[in-house]
Amino acid sequence: MLTLTLRRLLALLPILAGLTVLVFLMMALIPGDPATAILGAYATPENVARLNRELGLDRPLVTQYLVWLGNLADGDLGRSVSLERPVAAEVFGRLGPTALLAGTALLLASILGMVLGAWAAVRQFGWADRLVTLAVQVGLSMPAFWLGLLLVALFAVTLRWLPASGMLAVYGGGGLLDLAAHLALPAVTLAVVATGVIARLTRTAMLEVLRQDYIRTARAKGVAEGRIVRRHAFRAAIVTVIPVVATQAGFVLGGAVYVETVFQWPGLGRMLVEAIAARDILLVQGGVLVLATAFVAVNLLADLVQAALDPRIAR
């Protein structure tokens, strides 16, 4: 297991290096002059030239990247032009709310997806299988931002059961119940598509396992069907599903940009939307880099969990 962990960590080095290049080029190659966009009505040629010098945008692209990479190695993500504060402070200050939202959504999607997928597989071609399949198709075809607006209209505006936006109540908030109430709608919105993907692939994996010879042998020996499903089929299927869960972590982190904007959730996604509108290059680069690194870390964790459940992978 230790050897596998070291191999995976070494394999991450070129991936992280590639991430820095992509994140830098993503903003550097966008058409238009960032200094002009930042200054707006005050964009005189003198002011534009001065701001370009301050931001280092008058240097060659390779030089800009090397300077940014050197600062990044020192833990310095630069200074936000729009917020006038260090990028690292803003990004890591917003990381907690995004981690809470994305983690809750991924946990919810994993549990519901695996349970629904296994339930549908055990009752293949029955009403439960058809119901789960229909729900999965509806969930996969529903845009997250549209679903969020529908949930707000129903549960916040019409029924008034849950708050429509924010992370905590403006007045009298701050408790766990208040946080849970604000978290419910965005977490469900973010989890729907991931739940559908995990459920569909769990069903496929379960059906494949249930057709294996050792499952037939267990049934021939009189082992209870419930024990076969729980102790043998489900555990074997989970090994196949875990990488899918890690992949969905990327969708959840990407979807947080839309969901946080709809629900005014004070996380990295909402920050990125505001930073892109302000053409705050360093803030966008810092936020995207942190999100991409988090996705890589989740995939590393998934590999290690998969190896722990199936020792053959660690060889």
- Digit-coded pLDDT (tens) for 242-265: 888 888 888 888 888 889 988 989
- Gap between the Cα atoms of 209 and 293, Å rounded: 34
Residues 6+ apart with CB under 8 A from 187: 101, 104, 105, 108
What is Dmax (Cα atoms) for the chain? Answer: 85
| Domain count across the chain | 2
Check residue 315 and give its pLDDT. Answer: 56
Do 118 and 202 fall into the same domain?
A: yes
Check residue 4 and give its pLDDT. Answer: 67
CA neighbor of 255 nearest in space, from 310, 295, 296, 315 = 295
Mean pLDDT of 145-164: 90
What is the span of the domain harbouring residue 244? 94-314
Mean pLDDT of 136-159: 87
Check residue 129 and give its pLDDT. Answer: 85
* Residue 80 domain-assigned (yes or no): no
Do 123 and 252 fall into the same domain?
A: yes
- Gap between the Cα atoms of 106 and 97, Å rounded: 14
Check residue 57 and give its pLDDT. Answer: 76
Do 64 and 139 fall into the same domain?
A: no
Do 216 and 271 fall into the same domain?
A: yes
- Token duo for residue 85: 């504060």
- pTM of the predicted structure, to 2 decimals: 0.85
Residues 6+ apart with CB under 8 A from 136: 116, 195, 196, 199, 200
Query: Which of these three, 29, 44, 73, is where a domain ends?
Result: 73
User: 104 falls in which pLDDT band (50, 70, 90)?
Assistant: very high
- Digit-coded pLDDT (tens) for 109-126: 999 999 999 998 888 888
165 vs 30 pLDDT, higher one = 165
Do 119 and 222 fall into the same domain?
A: yes
What value does the mean pLDDT of the chain take? 84
Do 236 and 289 fall into the same domain?
A: yes
Whether the per-residue pLDDT at 313 is higher than 70: the answer is no
Do 18 and 145 fall into the same domain?
A: no
Share of the chain above pLDDT 90, in %: 18
Do 198 and 138 fall into the same domain?
A: yes
User: 7 falls in which pLDDT band (50, 70, 90)?
Assistant: confident
CA distances from 70 to 26, 57, 64 (A): 18, 16, 10
Q: Which residues pair with 79 in a beta bridge?
A: 86
Do 157 and 31 fall into the same domain?
A: no
* Residue 26 domain-assigned (yes or no): yes
* Residue 78 domain-assigned (yes or no): no
Do 132 and 48 fall into the same domain?
A: no
Check residue 18 and give its pLDDT. Answer: 85
Share of the chain above pLDDT 70, in %: 94
In contact, 232 and 214? CB cutoff 8 Å: yes
